[in-house]
Chains A and B, each alone.
Chain A
Amino acid sequence: MSGTFVGMPAFPEAAREAVRNPTLRGNLRHATHTIRAKRARAVGELADWAELREAGRRIKDHTLRHLDRYLEQLEESVTAAGGTVHWAADAAEANRIVTELVRATGESEVVKVKSMATQEIELNEALAAAGIRAYETDLAELIVQLGKDRPSHILVPAIHRNRGEIRDIFAHEMGEWGRPAPEDLTDTPADLAEAARLHLREKFLRAKVGISGANFMVAETGTLVVVESEGNGRMCLTLPETLISVVGIEKTVPTWRDLEVFLQTLPRSSTAERMNPYTSMWTGTTDEDGPRAFHLVLLDNGRTDTLADTVGRQALRCIRCSACLNVCPVYERAGGHAYGSVYPGPIGAILSPQLRGTGSEIDASLPYASSLCGACYEVCPVAIDIPEVLVHLRERVVEGGPAVRRGNKVLLKPAKGHAAERAAMRAARWAFAHPGALRAGQRLASRTRRLHPRTLPGPGRAWSGARDLPAVPPEPFRDWWQRTRGGKDGDR
């Protein structure tokens, strides 16, 4: 299952399967509702939350507007501190750079800090193809990797698994990757954590190369920041001789001081903690402490194209807290895999079709994977108006229009499969622009009301499969109004 996302079914089909899986539904409901309530409490503790949210939005918008300048500053700072900066335009280039860097060390295995950027470029698969084994060390990523599964959540990749399933995965798979799980492994959290600790400690102490992402990059000092809960990331960042960090260019912040805002909003939004347990910061290399070689791979992979879109660019503010996933009623029922992307949930529905384009069936379906309820916008700590971008991308899917792909302005054609809908929308618009036509339609519906079924054939089956249609009334309102002028001449 850990291959690529190519060939994923479109969202509605994948979601239909997920909705029918009672274990998955139960796991997701329990996890999202728990974290949702905790987040609300953690956020409610801060009297200045609205100001923090606005500050975060402004810092990100300012940085994105001058991203070229800050990236150059970042490169200078990292280089001055003894690091090496590499620029990767896309996933293939990033994977090639990292593979060559690992090969140059002569190593055939690496330890990894949980990182969305390396998931996005499918680095583990690229390394495996080059004969290099990458060990995930984040507990949830470990569960996913051992289970030959895919992450289903940005922050809690194994959110779709319960304790019993995790016990089985550890018991059956750990031996394949290193130290096996104890014979008498139970499904208690302490037991599972201890098995993971023993299994992972071997990897930390043996690995010569570590690979990470970063939550933030500070342009003025060349400092990279990872926030985490377990400390496994810190081991990967400090123990190996070589550290390679693959980071999306939008993770830049101008100054050290800007972190003040995000180190408050990120943990409260994601894990509902006042402060995350481990904050690791590294700046180039230091003699006799930490890695002796540091490489930063700056990843574009569709980000510059996204930046060119005046409505959609706000998606690049995202700090990957996953609050939008936890509050989303669609994510709660469909689960992360249905999104066919490492970025699931509401943010994935706007980020993936921008980073990858709307060309594939799954990417064209993602902007519709929302009821536009607005809960995601409400909780977003950097105020990304996700519903606004969803509607904007829907327009791109059904109407086409101008976009930027790989730095070039292109005129997108409408996606396939919307011709009938487009015709219906145009017909409806025509009828609504002609009140007489609307009225004739209403009268026809009322006159034939006894013939209307409560369920529908054809495309309407999607509605009537689970819901009864309302009965058509004997008289539309406007006829009643005209007959009685608002009841003044006697009702009915």
Chain B
Amino acid sequence: MRVALFLTCVNDTLYPDTGRAVVKLLTRLGVDVDFPMDQTCCGQAHYNTGYRHEAEPLAWHFSDVFRDYEAIVTPSGSCGAMVRELYPRLGERARAEGRGDGLARALAPVVPKTYELTEFLVDVLGVTDVGAYYPHRVTYHPTCHGLRGLGLGDRPRRLLEAVKGLELAELPGAAECCGFGGTFAVKNAAVSAAMGVDKVRDAESTGAEVLCAADNSCLMHIGGTMSRLGSGMRPVHLAEILASTEEEPAL
């Protein structure tokens, strides 16, 4: 199976460890992973801030880069939701504006074969126990776009529950937004920060050492808040936990 890793621009630039973890994990599960070097950004920040026309060339670019793969896997619920939920809308809107169905046709093949990492593991590979070892108390934050955009459901939890040594602590108010929201974090900084602080306090109340999520953008906001508050907790991407083994444990 020829699978493309769509790492996302944020992970590529700021969180390469997450990318390495996905490669290590998928390779361990027998998947042949490629990283198309021409990939850049899905355009979510543009689209969600109101620059739909700036997002369109990036959607075209995405379809060019990933068209020929059997599956496209991304360790980001929000970028996954951009491709799966919002790309079809981009195509429809272009058509409604009388610009033909070129974009819709270009996106049609890539949209259904784009998977968020946990979907790919559970639905395509059919595994929940990925042979991971992670001896820490962990609480899981289901990010909004993963939870409500993609409908990841209990897939991430099932994966975490199967990790050896991991103790899963229930996060109060788990379904509530952490306050990141892309440019929302800058445009409405006060509300965003207040939401972040509440999320960190809820996470701290679990007594966990680690807050885990499947989206580094949310973790950047939550982790930045933890750092500022001097919290003892760490943000860790789910992929890094699943990639961790007894032979090669993650920190």
Q: Does A106 contact B (CB under 8 A)?
A: no
Measured CB to CB, the closest approach of chain A to B179, in angstroms, equals 6
- Inter-subunit contact B51/A334 (CB<8 Å): no
| Best-surrounded residue of A19, A429, A491 (most CB of chain B within 10 A) | A429
- Inter-subunit contact B190/A475 (CB<8 Å): no
A397 to B48, CA, bound (A): 12
Residue of B nearest to A429 (CB): B54
Measured CB to CB, the closest approach of chain B to A16, in angstroms, equals 4
Q: Residue B14 contacts which of A20, A25, A433, A470 (CB distance < 8 angstroms)? A: A470
A373 to B221, CA, bound (A): 15
Q: Does A231 contact B (CB under 8 A)?
A: no
Q: Does A375 contact B (CB under 8 A)?
A: yes
Residues of A within 8 A of B27 (CB): 486-487
Q: Does B15 contact A (CB under 8 A)?
A: yes
- With A371-B177, A428-B46, A478-B35 already in contact, the answer to whether A399 and B148 are too (CB < 8 A) is no
Q: Does B91 contact A (CB under 8 A)?
A: no
- With A432-B40, A467-B224 already in contact, the answer to whether A372 and B195 are too (CB < 8 A) is no
Interface residues on B, range: 35 or more
Q: For the complex, would chain B's binding face be called helix, strand, loop or mixed by DSSP majority?
A: helix
- Inter-subunit contact B224/A470 (CB<8 Å): yes
Name B61-97 residues within 8 Å CB distance of A.
61, 89, 96
Residue of B nearest to A369 (CB): B188
Residues of B within 8 A of A429 (CB): 43, 46, 51, 54-55, 57-58
Residue of B nearest to A441 (CB): B13
Residue of A nearest to B57 (CB): A433
A348 to B190, CA, bound (A): 20
- Inter-subunit contact B33/A486 (CB<8 Å): yes
Number of A residues whose C-beta is below 8 Å from B? 68
Name B95-150 residues within 8 Å CB distance of A.
96, 144-145, 148-149
Measured CB to CB, the closest approach of chain B to A492, in angstroms, equals 9
- Inter-subunit contact A481/B224 (CB<8 Å): no
Q: Does A198 contact B (CB under 8 A)?
A: no
- Inter-subunit contact B188/A11 (CB<8 Å): yes
- With A466-B189, A467-B224, A470-B224 already in contact, the answer to whether A371 and B37 are too (CB < 8 A) is no
- Between-chain CB contacts (< 8 Å), 12 pairs: A25-B194, A369-B188, A397-B50, A432-B58, A438-B40, A466-B196, A467-B193, A468-B228, A477-B19, A477-B35, A481-B35, A487-B23
Residue of B nearest to A330 (CB): B191
- Inter-subunit contact A459/B220 (CB<8 Å): no
Residues of B within 8 A of A432 (CB): 9, 40-41, 43, 58, 61
Q: Does B181 contact A (CB under 8 A)?
A: yes
A396 to B52, CA, bound (A): 10
Interface string of A1-37 (1 = CB under 8 A from B): 0000000000110011001100001000000000000
A420 to B24, CA, bound (A): 41
Interface string of A457-482 (1 = CB under 8 A from B): 00110110111111011011110111
Q: Does B20 contact A (CB under 8 A)?
A: yes
A204 to B192, CA, bound (A): 45
Residues of A within 8 A of B181 (CB): 370-373
Residues of A within 8 A of B193 (CB): 19, 465-467
Q: Does A289 contact B (CB under 8 A)?
A: no
Residues of A within 8 A of B189 (CB): 12, 16, 462-463, 465-466
- Inter-subunit contact B41/A435 (CB<8 Å): no
A54 to B179, CA, bound (A): 30
Residues of B within 8 A of A460 (CB): 186
A15 to B179, CA, bound (A): 14
Name A426-464 residues within 8 Å CB distance of B.
426, 428-429, 431-433, 435, 438, 442, 445, 454, 459-460, 462-463
- Inter-subunit contact A12/B190 (CB<8 Å): yes
**A-B complex: 6 closest residue pairs judged by Cβ atoms:** A371-B181, A394-B50, A467-B224, A466-B193, A373-B177, A477-B16
Residues of A within 8 A of B16 (CB): 473, 475-477, 480
What is the interface of chain A, defined by CB distance below 8 A to chain B? 11-12, 15-16, 19-20, 25, 310, 329-330, 333-334, 367-375, 377-378, 388, 391, 393-399, 421-422, 425-426, 428-429, 431-433, 435, 438, 442, 445, 454, 459-460, 462-463, 465-470, 472-473, 475-478, 480-482, 486-487, 491
Residues of A within 8 A of B53 (CB): 399
- Inter-subunit contact A371/B179 (CB<8 Å): yes
Measured CB to CB, the closest approach of chain B to A259, in angstroms, equals 30
- Inter-subunit contact A486/B52 (CB<8 Å): no
| Best-surrounded residue of A368, A369, A422 (most CB of chain B within 10 A) | A368
Q: Does B227 contact A (CB under 8 A)?
A: yes
Residues of A within 8 A of B51 (CB): 395, 398-399, 422, 425, 429
Name B147-189 residues within 8 Å CB distance of A.
148-149, 175-177, 179-189
A433 to B9, CA, bound (A): 12
- Inter-subunit contact B144/A372 (CB<8 Å): yes
Measured CB to CB, the closest approach of chain B to A161, in angstroms, equals 20
- With A470-B14, A472-B14 already in contact, the answer to whether A462 and B186 are too (CB < 8 A) is yes
Interface string of B190-205 (1 = CB under 8 A from A): 1111111100000000
- Inter-subunit contact A371/B224 (CB<8 Å): no
Residue of B nearest to A12 (CB): B188
Q: Does B206 contact A (CB under 8 A)?
A: no
- Inter-subunit contact A371/B180 (CB<8 Å): yes
- With A12-B189, A371-B184, A373-B148 already in contact, the answer to whether A398 and B49 are too (CB < 8 A) is yes
